[in-house]
Amino acid sequence: MLLVTSGAVAFGKLTLSQALRLSMSMRETLIMKSGPPLETAKSSVGTSAAVGQSGLMALYDAMFNQFGVKIAQVLVTKPDFYNPESRSWLRQTLLELISLNILPIINTNDAVSSPTSQFEACVDGSQIQLISDNDALAAHLAAEAGADLMIMMSNVDGVYTLPPGQDGSSLLHTFSPSTRDRIVIGEKSNVGLGGMDSKIGAATWAVDRGVSAVICNGFKDGAITRIVKGEKVGTFFTQHETSSTSLENLSISAKNGSRALESLSGSERGAILRKLADLLLEKSDMLLEANAKDLQAAEACGLEESLLSRLSLDRTKLASLGDGIRSIAEKCEGDDILGKVNIRTLIADGIELQQITVPIGVLLVIFESRPDCLPQVASLAIATGNGLLLKGGKEAFHSNRALFYLVREALGQYNVQQAISLISTREDVDEILNVGKHIDLIIPRGSADLVRTIQQKSKGIPVLGHSEGVCHVYVDKDADFESAYDIVRDAKCDYPAACNAMETLLLHQDLIESDFFSTMCSILRKEGVTVNAGPRLSQRLTFGPPATQSLRTEYSRLECAIEVVDDVKQAITHINTYGSGHTDVIVTENVAAAEDFLRSVDSACVFHNASTRFADGYRFGLGAEVGISTGRIHARGPVGLEGLLTTKWQIRGSGDTVADFSKGKRKYKHEALPVSPDSDEFRRASAISADDS
Amino acid sequence: MLLVTSGAVAFGKLTLSQALRLSMSMRETLIMKSGPPLETAKSSVGTSAAVGQSGLMALYDAMFNQFGVKIAQVLVTKPDFYNPESRSWLRQTLLELISLNILPIINTNDAVSSPTSQFEACVDGSQIQLISDNDALAAHLAAEAGADLMIMMSNVDGVYTLPPGQDGSSLLHTFSPSTRDRIVIGEKSNVGLGGMDSKIGAATWAVDRGVSAVICNGFKDGAITRIVKGEKVGTFFTQHETSSTSLENLSISAKNGSRALESLSGSERGAILRKLADLLLEKSDMLLEANAKDLQAAEACGLEESLLSRLSLDRTKLASLGDGIRSIAEKCEGDDILGKVNIRTLIADGIELQQITVPIGVLLVIFESRPDCLPQVASLAIATGNGLLLKGGKEAFHSNRALFYLVREALGQYNVQQAISLISTREDVDEILNVGKHIDLIIPRGSADLVRTIQQKSKGIPVLGHSEGVCHVYVDKDADFESAYDIVRDAKCDYPAACNAMETLLLHQDLIESDFFSTMCSILRKEGVTVNAGPRLSQRLTFGPPATQSLRTEYSRLECAIEVVDDVKQAITHINTYGSGHTDVIVTENVAAAEDFLRSVDSACVFHNASTRFADGYRFGLGAEVGISTGRIHARGPVGLEGLLTTKWQIRGSGDTVADFSKGKRKYKHEALPVSPDSDEFRRASAISADDS
């Protein structure tokens, strides 16, 4: 490690001002107190540096000494770099210090050489480069010593696209040659603080010579350790081009693409979807080939069997994917998705108000290994006229790329390819969210962990989804036992990893000592379900199942908790306390109890005498499923296409002002008008009539 | 300033390990390298302290020296506190050092006295208190020296309700005696890190003796400076009780209150509203008296005229408030708000699915000076069955309290007072958002600044509102000029401070050199509107208005920008680029251009030949207005009561499992059923029929 430091001049000025004060007479001191603050500007930089250098080194010495690190002071001047002999001597000294585990602390010798006069250094035997400040000095020393990494510490967090704090400014995590071109040419005067320009220059200079560089905030805790660990701190300079700089462009394209899609008719969007469905079959060889590559890589990595089966595509899966997409196309061609009139009001004669459906804008969908998610999500976006950024798992890299190729081909029919982009798997979610101002909704499709991470990081962009599914089945004392057995078995065992699988079975207290309880337990045992007892059940049983750790556990496998409750009221309270608001079920023949449960359980889905597993867009008959949301606004429970739509208010008037109404010249009518089914024709017609009036 | 420091022992151990290594033979060193790491545990604490003390002081000396601060080392032992003579001597020494501007750095003299044996100190002449560590030592010294403030620096941010990082743990900004009771009794073992207990003990001990105390994270930048400035850093210990600890309870009450409200019938909720409307008139004397207090205080502070008029209540305002609330009551009594069936589907024989409307849950409404907001918002919450936390501006303290008293009285009819709480004006929004897990939606009603702040701080809780209203009027070449004059005048001048007032006037290029332009400008001048020219207009005019700073400015007063565009396409692009998605208008007689504009402008409200000022819930005929949202999900534009509702899916089945369907035993029907208007009766009937099947 080499340390290049500033600060000697500043420290020296402080000492000088004290010395100056001590050398003043009492009278001078008194005058000064009421006069202007003591200035040492007249002291030369050289004097200040000479005075400050010793203090600075004493401070470093005392600090490093506490950690047993020995330091050495190295003051350099211009000739040290000019003269090949002294250059080599300096190099030898530094390398030797490093080999002795002594930390060289390097500063320019401002006492003997002006720091403001730029000096030239000869590096690589041929190139002449001006060394104007410590940033450039550090870059030269790093190159000279063959350093792996140069860390430049500033008081800002790194390089920003615009001055930090300004609206729209965002921190660049990586800085590649193209970034430099973009910033320098486009917005040179806007680049961060004054000193940032020279830091960027020094960093790119070092990168060109094989030294990696990071510009970070030196005031941030543990910056060096975190950078060395590979965490994303500050701005990392690299010669590799990343797409991070273009992420913002992709989202702008998606926005424009959304507008282009919206301007197509429903049957045109339907045609894109039908084309995509056809391509999935026509190009199935290509798809399966790409998928085979992913499967091979996954097997080599030792991916679990269940994950492998999610990753794999086959002709049956492709055919059913195509069928699903054709059914979305059908909905599209009904022309009932976009521009549908929800509300139509005659505000007053000649002023007609309409609320119509429009796309939300740009969706970011993040999905894990399952590649079949890609064409499904793309179809939903196309049907609803939304722009889409897709980020798939890296396990499905080849499959996703092949599928995306087909999506683009289908979009090409109407030249709206820009609406959908596949984001490189290398980009992490943080980076995407940093350019998130053009993203209107995030839909994470995958594990609870993925969703939770996205929800926490979303930075105010709405997230549609559910992180947990702690679903309950409550069996009432008035339950039909056969129904209860069937429903509990189905809810837990049909697909234990699903979010709508049962995690906790609540039993009415009267059932505990009945045959029902032992039969229920033996059914679960036969299915291989591990049972955990809730605290109250544990108390009731002398030799019961082991006690559960928490009543909020989502087991997601053949395991569940059983707890006992006094009655339906306590079951409701239990679910509202420990549940995740996903899906909860009562099994009873008592209609009053059932209605109480249906009304009072505060979950997205509440069922009477039916399995939790019915909570699903397809089973609900919503056609395409966007996902299941446990959020309380916009959409809740299984979400169909309407979850990807918002509304817009339109008024068609005839030169109207509100002043006429507030002054009493005109009166509001607020007459609800019938909503015509054929919205497009209808809008045009009504526009013309409004116009004529 | 006094500094109590730790670290001598740790520093000493480091030095000792080096000394130990130097005293080893080469063979021992080699064995050690492959053996266990060098341990100095056998060195006594006293030895380590003796060795480390000098190094620690050297480090402090070097650091403070750079800032010209002189330090003095003070090592204390048990007898120094026992013996009244030495106590007084110590006190004198410390005070003298402070008066000489020398910083005393105090540590226990661990070389001569064991730090682990607790020693007793006699303070205030009578009280005996155990000094077991540096925390207690600091507290004693602070009391002894009569310090104003004691800052205890830790490696955690302060005192948490649960161990930091654990789900549900939140930082306490203030810690009052009742907090201590709650934490110590309820969750003693859960209080943060090991050392936090002793810090809390020391801090409360100091607070009892008139010293304020803060526990903060010493690693955070500028912690001391920020604390002294009065910023909220760490946990502040005070003897004053605050309601912060009960905020979470208030939100839980609101949740329970929401459930209670929901269980009332629509006519019962309507009765609460009618009672509230009556109370506003009956108790108007009391209200006006409270309001007078606020007005008096505001005048004394020199509040602006416009703010004073917002703050003031009068009988006319109260009467119209009452009328508004009665019209909400009417909607309520229609029983069409909660439990309304949106979708009804026969999934298969015996399985019926319904989507019904339910309350969102708990709303947090933050409003500024206007007290009439309180009964309006409360009425909307009551009508929709939502719990409500109200936070009003401190200018309206007395008025809000009086109005809230009436709301509670009205709620008392059905014993559902817990649904609505008024939060003390002292609590800042941060603190409320910290306990935000029970809050489902935030509605800020007030200035753009307020809304923007809330949106940034909302921590993932959805915010319904709009921070900006940069509204445009585009006058096309085919405009009816008289309409254009009227609409522009209305849009800018009817109420310039409104969010739906025009900020930018876009003109078709053909109009610039016509009479229209000069007439338009003179109309605006006559109304007192200051005009700024956009860049393109500036270029066109030799002597034009001054150039605008930004095309995104929301002037909110009699001022606007004028810019020229080529055609309707460019107007659309301009608005989609610089607008805020609130309300935008086209004035034209060309229906094709108008339809293009209505379709392509991506704003919540897009109007043809009508003033921007129509964007308003009342003018739209929505009845009560919750607010105007520029968000793209849940609700957009003027939002009526439905913005405070969400949905819930219910299934009424007959013991059904999905396995029967996936195994092919049964088939899905997905038959849309008619939605009955009288939802409550209908639900019950259908439940029974499903049950019988």
CATH number at residue B302: 3.40.605.10
Q: Is the pLDDT of residue B547 over 80?
A: yes
Report the run of H or E that residue A564 belongs to, with start and end.
Answer: strand A559-565
Contact state of A347 with B614 under an 8 Å Cβ cutoff: yes
Residue span of the structural domain in which A328 resides: 251-338+356-457
Report pLDDT for A426. 53
Report yes or no on B27 lying in a domain: yes
Contact state of B607 with A651 under an 8 Å Cβ cutoff: yes
Rounded to whole angstroms, the Cα distance separating B59 from B685 reads 82
Phi and psi based region of residue B125 (left: phi greater than 0; alpha: psi -120 to 50; beta: remaining): left
Q: Residues B252-257: what's their mean pLDDT?
A: 90
* A14 neighbourhood in chain B, CB within 8 Å: 66-68
Give CA separation, A137 vs A3, A144, A198, A300, in Å: 11, 10, 11, 47
Cβ atoms of residues A313 and A298 within 8 Å: no
Cβ atoms of residues B563 and B504 within 8 Å: yes
Nearest by CB to A637, which of B11, B649, B661? B649
Task: Give the residue from A606, A619, A625 with the most B CB atoms within 10 Å of its CB, the best one to mutate.
Answer: A619
Give CA separation, B575 vs A42, A467, A577, B563, B692, in Å: 56, 37, 47, 11, 59
Report pLDDT for A613. 96
> Which carries the bigger pLDDT value, residue A42 or residue B562?
B562
Contact state of B611 with A656 under an 8 Å Cβ cutoff: yes
* A59 neighbourhood in chain B, CB within 8 Å: 62-63, 65-66
Strand partners of residue A104: A72
Going by C-alpha positions, the residue among A149, A200, A156 that lies closest to residue A179 is: A200
Rounded to whole angstroms, the Cα distance separating B289 from B293 reads 7
Q: What is the CATH number of the domain that holds A523?
A: 3.40.309.10
Report pLDDT for B111. 63
State how far residue B685 is from chain A, nearest Cα, in angstroms.
Answer: 10
Nearest by CB to B221, which of A56, A219, A659? A219
Task: Map A347-379 to HEC letters.
Answer: EECCEEEEEEEEECCEEEEEECCCCCHHHHHHH
Q: What are phi and psi of A238, to 5 degrees?
A: -145, 155
Nearest residue of A to residue B67, measured between CA atoms: A14
User: What are A304's two structure tokens?
Assistant: 């679990």
Contact state of A589 with B691 under an 8 Å Cβ cutoff: yes
Report pLDDT for B477. 96
Q: What are phi and psi of B445, to 5 degrees?
A: -120, 105
State how far residue A287 is from chain B, nearest Cα, in angstroms.
Answer: 28
What are B174-209's pLDDT values in tens digits? 887 766 655 542 333 333 334 677 888 888 888 888
| B78 and B189 assigned to the same domain | no
Which of A608, A625, A642 represents a domain boundary (last residue)?
A: A625
Going by C-alpha positions, the residue among B217, B76, B219 that lies closest to residue B152 is: B217
Report pLDDT for B689. 44
State how far residue B308 is from chain A, nearest Cα, in angstroms.
Answer: 23
Report yes or no on A31 lying in a domain: yes
Q: Residues B527-541: what's their mean pLDDT?
A: 93
pLDDT bracket for residue B487 (50, 70, 90): very high
Report pLDDT for A35. 45
| B491 and B432 assigned to the same domain | no
Nearest residue of A to residue B459, measured between CA atoms: A460
Cβ-Cβ contacts under 8 Å between A and B: the total is 292
Contact state of B620 with A55 under an 8 Å Cβ cutoff: no
User: What are B433's two structure tokens?
Assistant: 């958002």
Contact state of A487 with B619 under an 8 Å Cβ cutoff: no
Report yes or no on B631 lying in a domain: no
Report pLDDT for A218. 84
Nearest residue of B to residue A482, measured between CA atoms: B655
| A571 and A532 assigned to the same domain | yes
Cβ atoms of residues A381 and A325 within 8 Å: no
Contact state of A487 with B656 under an 8 Å Cβ cutoff: yes
Contact state of A646 with B633 under an 8 Å Cβ cutoff: yes
| B484 and B587 assigned to the same domain | yes
State how far residue B475 is from chain A, nearest Cα, in angstroms.
Answer: 12
Q: Is the pLDDT of residue B618 over 50?
A: yes
Cβ atoms of residues A376 and A406 within 8 Å: no
Say how many C-beta atoms besides its own lie within 10 A of residue A448's C-beta.
Answer: 17
Q: Which long-range contacts (CB under 8 A, 24 or more apart) does B162-170 make?
A: B162/B187, B162/B190, B163/B190, B163/B191, B163/B192, B163/B193, B164/B192, B164/B193, B166/B190, B168/B437, B170/B434, B170/B435
| B157 and B294 assigned to the same domain | no
Report pLDDT for B125. 42
Report pLDDT for A114. 56
State how far residue B27 is from chain A, nearest Cα, in angstroms.
Answer: 21
Report yes or no on B53 lying in a domain: yes
Report pLDDT for B325. 94
Nearest by CB to B656, which of A599, A610, A620? A610
Q: What mean pLDDT value characterizes chain A? A: 83
Helix (H, G, I), strand (E, B) or coil at A221: coil
pLDDT bracket for residue B94 (50, 70, 90): confident
| A64 and A155 assigned to the same domain | yes
Nearest by CB to B591, which of A591, A599, A688? A688
Rounded to whole angstroms, the Cα distance separating B536 from B540 reads 6
Q: What are phi and psi of A316, to 5 degrees?
A: -65, -45
Contact state of A668 with B489 under an 8 Å Cβ cutoff: no
| A433 and A544 assigned to the same domain | no
| B32 and B166 assigned to the same domain | no
Q: Residues B471-477: what's their mean pLDDT?
A: 97
Nearest residue of A to residue B440, measured between CA atoms: A632
Tell me, what amino acid is at A429?
V
Which of B403, B424, B457 represents a domain boundary (last residue)?
A: B457
State how far residue A582 is from chain B, nearest Cα, in angstroms.
Answer: 10
Q: Is the pLDDT of residue B486 over 90?
A: yes
The domain total for chain A is: 3
Rounded to whole angstroms, the Cα distance separating A387 from A377 reads 11
Report yes or no on A672 lying in a domain: no
Cβ atoms of residues A472 and A554 within 8 Å: no
Contact state of B637 with A651 under an 8 Å Cβ cutoff: no
| A309 and A259 assigned to the same domain | yes
Helix (H, G, I), strand (E, B) or coil at B91: helix
Cβ atoms of residues A37 and A138 within 8 Å: no
Cβ atoms of residues B187 and B162 within 8 Å: yes
Report the run of H or E that residue A572 belongs to, with start and end.
Answer: helix A568-578
Q: Which residues contact A381 (CB under 8 A, 6 or more apart)?
A: A363, A365, A387, A388, A419, A420, A644
Report the run of H or E that residue A72 belongs to, with start and end.
Answer: strand A70-76
Residue A186: how many CA atoms within 13 Å on its side-chain side? 8
Going by C-alpha positions, the residue among A4, A583, A177, A75 that lies closest to residue B649 is: A583
State how far residue B543 is from chain A, nearest Cα, in angstroms.
Answer: 30
Cβ atoms of residues A531 and A537 within 8 Å: no
What are B263-303's pLDDT values in tens digits? 899 999 999 999 999 999 999 999 999 999 999 999 988 88
* B480 neighbourhood in chain A, CB within 8 Å: 655
| A172 and A217 assigned to the same domain | yes
Nearest by CB to A620, which of B345, B609, B662? B345
* A494 neighbourhood in chain B, CB within 8 Å: 657-659, 662
Q: Is the pLDDT of residue B541 over 90?
A: no
| B289 and B383 assigned to the same domain | yes
Nearest by CB to A633, which of B66, B621, B634? B634
Which of B147, B176, B198 represents a domain boundary (last residue)?
A: B147
pLDDT bracket for residue B156 (50, 70, 90): confident
State how far residue A302 is from chain B, nearest Cα, in angstroms.
Answer: 31
User: What are A661's two structure tokens?
Assistant: 């109404």
Report the run of H or E that residue B186 belongs to, with start and end.
Answer: helix B177-187
From the centroid of its chain, how far is CA B570?
Answer: 39
Report pLDDT for A400. 93
Helix (H, G, I), strand (E, B) or coil at B560: strand
Give CA separation, A600 vs A283, A453, A568, B245, B338, in Å: 51, 30, 10, 28, 13
* A632 neighbourhood in chain B, CB within 8 Å: 360-361, 440-441, 646
Going by C-alpha positions, the residue among A463, A431, A574 that lies closest to residue A508 is: A574
Tell me, what amino acid is at B458?
S
- Cite the beta strand spans of B56-144 per DSSP E: 70-76, 102-108, 119-123, 127-131
**DSSP category for residue B423:** P
Report pLDDT for B268. 95
Nearest residue of B to residue A484, measured between CA atoms: B655
Give CA separation, A683 vs A61, A357, B92, B188, in Å: 80, 13, 89, 67
Nearest residue of B to residue A615, measured between CA atoms: B649
Nearest residue of B to residue A603, measured between CA atoms: B648
Cβ atoms of residues A252 and A377 within 8 Å: no
Nearest by CB to A651, which of B18, B610, B646? B610
Report pLDDT for A75. 80
Report yes or no on B632 lying in a domain: no
User: What are A216's two structure tokens?
Assistant: 């970070």
Report yes or no on B657 lying in a domain: no
Q: What is the CATH number of the domain that holds B112?
A: 3.40.1160.10
Q: Is the pLDDT of residue B454 over 90?
A: no
pLDDT bracket for residue B31 (50, 70, 90): low
Report pLDDT for B460. 74
Report pLDDT for A241. 61
- Cite the beta strand spans of A117-269 per DSSP E: 119-123, 127-131, 149-154, 174-175, 212-217, 235-237
State how far residue A466 is from chain B, nearest Cα, in angstroms.
Answer: 14
Nearest by CB to A11, which of B55, B66, B460? B66
| A407 and A480 assigned to the same domain | no
Contact state of B656 with A591 under an 8 Å Cβ cutoff: no
User: What is the full DSSP assignment across B246-306?
Assistant: HHHHHHHHHHHHHHHHHHS-HHHHHHHHHHHHHHHHHTHHHHHHHHHHHHHHHHHTT--HH
Report yes or no on B64 lying in a domain: yes
Cβ atoms of residues A191 and A183 within 8 Å: yes
Report the run of H or E that residue A85 belongs to, with start and end.
Answer: helix A84-99
Q: Residues B533-546: what's their mean pLDDT?
A: 89
From the centroid of its chain, how far is CA A539?
Answer: 45
Spell out, as residue ranges, where chain A has pLDDT lower than 50. 34-41, 115-128, 184-194, 244-245, 678-693
> Which carries the bigger pLDDT value, residue B484 or residue A630?
B484
Nearest residue of B to residue A636, measured between CA atoms: B647
User: Tokens 């939140």 appear where?
Assistant: B170
